[in-house]
Chain A
Amino acid sequence: DAGVIQSPRHEVTEMGQEVTLRCKPISGHNSLFWYRQTMMRGLELLIYFNNNVPIDDSGMPEDRFSAKMPNASFSTLKIQPSEPRDSAVYFCASRLGGTGPGELFFGEGSRLTVL
């Protein structure tokens, strides 16, 4: 079975450029999460979608960050303009069910470096 698929795996860009990260959740999972991982702060929840609807975006750092989920099989996280402090590994994760004990399955992550 295919897991959560993320692209690109690695992205190196210059400050000020737009970055778009992509995610395909596990088929049938109706909850999707974007996390950011850094050494200093660990894993942080950025945004949570349930049935393609953003439920909690309180973790999105600022207006430069935006996320969309146009359908059940695709989501994007966009940073515009990017800054060096955005350098991190960004994980997408999916889960079956907005409630109940279903647990998170993570993608392999997108490592972003902003120069």
Chain B
Amino acid sequence: GQQLNQSPQSMFIQEGEDVSMNCTSSSIFNTWLWYKQDPGEGPVLLIALYKAGELTSNGRLTAQFGITRKDSFLNISASIPSDVGIYFCAGRPLGGSNYKLTFGKGTLLTVNP
């Protein structure tokens, strides 16, 4: 089935640093989503992207829908301790079921105060 390659798998950074993570696919996607999962909680939607090239911000978070439609990026600026968690990319392949999301394996972010 469809797979998303999310990288890096984990990151250890100092508070105040910027963070970048990305997600790639071998095929074209028409939707890219970024979720965050806190320990013991369910994933929470951060940003949704629907057009190639789209750049969307949510506070210190910025995500982009790659122009090739095969990738997406999430940046976090000036990280703080509460940014700790697992960040998942997810998407819908072009021509796929509109309800079925493909999820990446996640990026575990640790922020040292």
Name the prevailing secondary structure of the B interface residues.
loop
A4 within 8 A of B: yes
CB-based contact A99/B100 at 8 Å: no
Residues in A with CB closer than 8 Å to B29 are: none
A109 within 8 A of B: yes
A101 within 8 A of B: yes
B73 within 8 A of A: no
CB-based contact B99/A31 at 8 Å: yes
Residues in A with CB closer than 8 Å to B99 are: 31, 33, 48, 50, 55-56, 95, 98
- Interface size class on chain B is 20 to 34
Cross-interface CB contact of B45 among A55, A99, A104, cutoff 8 Å: A104
Residues in A with CB closer than 8 Å to B40 are: 108-109
A12 within 8 A of B: no
CB-based contact A43/B33 at 8 Å: no
CB-based contact A103/B42 at 8 Å: no
CB-based contact A43/B103 at 8 Å: yes
A101-B48, A101-B50, A103-B48 in contact; A45/B42 too (CB < 8 A)?
Answer: no
CB-based contact B45/A105 at 8 Å: yes
CB-based contact B100/A91 at 8 Å: no
B66 within 8 A of A: no
Provide the bound-state CA to CA distance between A34 and B40, in Å. Answer: 17
CB-based contact B103/A101 at 8 Å: no
Provide the bound-state CA to CA distance between A106 and B106, in Å. Answer: 16
Provide the bound-state CA to CA distance between A4 and B43, in Å. Answer: 12
Residues in A with CB closer than 8 Å to B43 are: 43, 91, 104, 106
CB-based contact B45/A103 at 8 Å: yes
Residues in A with CB closer than 8 Å to B100 are: 45, 48, 56
B58 within 8 A of A: no
Interface on B for A, CB 8 Å cutoff?
31, 33, 35, 40-45, 48, 50, 88, 97-101, 103-106
Known pairs A50-B99, A101-B48; list 18 more (Cβ under 8 Å).
Answer: A4-B42, A43-B88, A45-B100, A48-B99, A56-B97, A56-B100, A91-B42, A98-B99, A99-B98, A101-B50, A103-B45, A106-B43, A107-B42, A108-B40, A108-B41, A108-B42, A109-B40, A109-B42
